Chain A
C-alpha cells in the first residue's frame, strides 16, 4: 500500500467518526419543524380538493363548516344521511352513488389521521424544546423558539448570534432590500408573533429589540447548559410592558 492509501484510510475513519458525532438533538427540532410545515401545505391542498369533491353532493356542509379539520372529521365519522339531516334538508347537491361517497370518506379518514400526526409532532417539538432550550421555550414559547432554531440552523449558531440578528430572523427579504436600496429597515422577524410584540401597538420596534436582547441571552445560557433564568426575565418584561 502506498502512503496515500494509508493516509486516506485514516482520514476516512476520522471523518466518519466526526460525522456521527455531529448529530445533535437540535437537528431533530429542525427536521420536525420542517415536517410540520410540509404537512400543513399538504393538509391544506388535500382538504381543499376534498371540499370541491364533496360539495357536488352536499354544498351546505362546505358552506357552514369553515375549519378543515372539523370538516374532514364530520365526513369520516358520520354517514351521508346523518349529515344530510343535519346540514342540508333540501339540498341543492346532486346524487352520487355509494361508491363515490365511500372513496370520499376514505380520503377524509386519511386527512384526519394526518391532522393527528401533525398534533403529535407539535407535542414532540414542545417536549424537545423544553429539554434542549428550556429558557427559550419559557420566554418565547416553543413554536417561536423552534422557528428561531430552524432559521439559525442549530442551537449553537443561534447562541453565537447577536441580539440584533435574532430580532431580524425571518425578515431577511426586507433586511436585504434595506441594505441594497436604502428602504426602511424591518423591525421584527419571527418574534412579531410573540404576545408582547403583537400587543405593543406603536412601540413594536422597541419591544422587539428588548425581547430579542433577552432571547439572545437565553440562547447562550441554553447552549452552555446554564440554570433557568427565564422566569425572572419574563416577570421583569411583564412589568415593563404593562406600564407603557
Chain B
C-alpha cells in the first residue's frame, strides 16, 4: 500500500488487475459497511469509487484536486454523507460544511456529524447561497455534486460567494440531468467553455466505467473579483430539434476512447 503523491491520506493498493483505494483514518468505526483494516498501527477505510464521484475522479487519474490536510471545504449535495465521511478523514485538520436540501438524507448526515468532529451539517438550498452566508466562511475548496439542470450556474454562484482567490472549485457534472436528449460529450464541452470564462479549468475527467455520463471539472479561481454572470454563454436548447428523430444517437462514434 502506497500513499498517493498528489493526494494526502489517500492510499492505493494494486492486487493483480484491481486497484483498491484506502483513506487513512483514526476512527475504527465503519460508517457504510466498508472494510476497515489496520497496518503498522494505522487504520485505513476502503473507499468504493463507484459510490463516490470524487474518488472516481482520482481513480481515473485526475492530476490535482487542490485538497490539503488543513483545507476548509464547502460540500454541496452531501446526501447521506458517503463521500463526506471519507473527505473528513482526508482533511483531518480542516473543516467541512456539508449541505443538502432534502430532510430525509440530512437525517443520516446529522448522525455522521456526531462522530466526525470536523463536519458541520447545513439543511439549505444550494441555489440560494445567501441563505447560509452567516455560517459559512471563505473556503479553500468548493465541491459540488447535485443533479440539477442549472448546476453550472449554481456552482459559479457558490464559488463567487465562498471561494478564496486561488482556491479550487470541483464540479461533478451529470450530463443527463442538464439535457437528456443531447450528446453528453457536447454538454461537457459547452460546460467547459462556460467555466473557462470566469475560472481556470485545471483538469477534467469523464467517469465512464464508474459512473455513466458524468464528468468532474477542477477549476482554480483567477481573482477575488465578483463573477460577471452576463459573460457566461448559455446552453441553448433548440426546441425545434427536440421534436425530430435524432440521428446522431444511432451513429457509431469512431473517436478513440481513453
Interface residues of chain A, those whose CB is within 8 Å of chain B, are 4-5, 7-8, 10-12, 14-16, 18-19, 22-23, 176, 179-182
Contacts and interface: CB of A to CB of B under 8 A. Distances in A.
B147 to A, nearest CB: 15
Nearest to B121: A15
Q: How large is the interface on B (under 10, 10 to 19, 20 to 34, 35 or more residues)?
A: 20 to 34
B103 A22 contact: yes
Contact of B181 (A4, A22, A23, A180): A180
Q: Determine the main DSSP class of A at the interface with B.
A: helix
A8 B246 contact: no
B243 interface: yes
B227 interface: no
Contacts of A22: 103
A23 B110 CA distance: 16
Given A19-B106, A179-B180, A179-B181, A11 B122 contact: yes
Interface in B116-166: 117-123, 135
A15 B122 contact: yes
B252 interface: no
Contact of A18 (B114, B123, B181, B244): B123
Nearest to B117: A5
Contact of B242 (A10, A11, A179): A179
Nearest to B110: A15
Contacts of A7: 120, 135
Given A4-B120, A19-B107, A22-B103, 19 more contacts: A7-B135, A8-B119, A11-B121, A12-B113, A12-B114, A12-B120, A15-B106, A15-B110, A15-B122, A15-B123, A16-B110, A18-B106, A18-B123, A19-B103, A23-B103, A179-B242, A180-B246, A182-B244, A182-B246
Contacts of B107: 19
Given A4-B95, A18-B103, A19-B103, A180 B120 contact: no
29 contacts: A4-B120, A5-B117, A7-B120, A8-B113, A8-B120, A11-B120, A11-B121, A12-B110, A12-B120, A12-B121, A14-B123, A15-B106, A15-B123, A16-B110, A18-B106, A19-B103, A19-B107, A22-B103, A23-B103, A176-B180, A179-B181, A180-B180, A180-B181, A180-B249, A181-B245, A181-B246, A182-B244, A182-B245, A182-B246
Contacts of A182: 243-246
Main secondary structure of the interface of B (DSSP, over half): mixed
A65 to B, nearest CB: 43
A22 B110 CA distance: 15
Given A8-B120, A181-B245, A19 B181 contact: no
Contacts of A15: 106, 110, 121-123
Of A7, A8, A10, chain B has the most CB atoms within 10 Å of the CB of A8
A237 B148 CA distance: 38
A161 to B, nearest CB: 15
A18 B242 CA distance: 41
B161 to A, nearest CB: 17
Most buried by B among A11, A14, A180, A182: A11
B148 to A, nearest CB: 15
Nearest to B95: A4
Contacts of B245: 181-182
B16 to A, nearest CB: 39
Interface string B76-114: 000000000000000000010000000100110010011
Task: Report which residue of A5, A15, A179 has the largest number of chain B beta carbons within 10 angstroms of its beta carbon.
Answer: A15
A144 B122 CA distance: 36
A215 B105 CA distance: 30
A7 to B, nearest CB: 6
B59 to A, nearest CB: 30
Contacts of B114: 12
The 6 closest A-B pairs by CB, nearest first: A22-B103, A182-B245, A8-B120, A11-B120, A18-B123, A15-B123
A5 B123 CA distance: 18
B52 to A, nearest CB: 22
